[in-house]
Amino acid sequence: MKMIFLGKYTANALAGLIAGSDRKAAVETLLSQIGGTLEEMMFTRGEYDIVVLASAPDGTNIPGVAAALRASGAFEKAIALEELDMADVVATAQKISAAYKPAG
């Protein structure tokens, strides 16, 4: 499963980055803990400082990764997006739409 992570560093984390902290190695180590792999990592200008594209064995690990990153205190914002199978999403929506009767 693919995931996209968007992060905005705190001032303290940016100071560590400027001091030479190897963030790519840190991301690879973190992902290895869940059997994931880093596909691409980009530092960006704008609302987010870093964008990471990664693969994980399944979606159950992604919320845990996001929680650990938020809890670390290194990010002002940390958003984890996971890839969806849109055909499954549409099939579920179609099933529910036919079965659900709204009030009124």
Which CATH number do you get for residue 38?
3.30.70.920
Query: Per the domain annotation, does 75 fall within a domain?
Result: yes
Torsion sign (Cα): 66, 67, 68, 73:
positive
Range of the domain at 36: 2-99
Query: Per the domain annotation, does 104 fall within a domain?
Result: no
pLDDT tens track for 12-56:
999 999 999 999 999 999 999 999 999 999 999 999 999 999 999
Q: How many domains does the chain have?
A: 1
Instruction: Enter the pTM of the model.
Output: 0.82
Helices 23-32 and 62-71: crossing angle in degrees, nearest 10, is 140
* Residue 77: closest CA among 4, 9, 5: 9
Whether the per-residue pLDDT at 62 is higher than 90: the answer is no
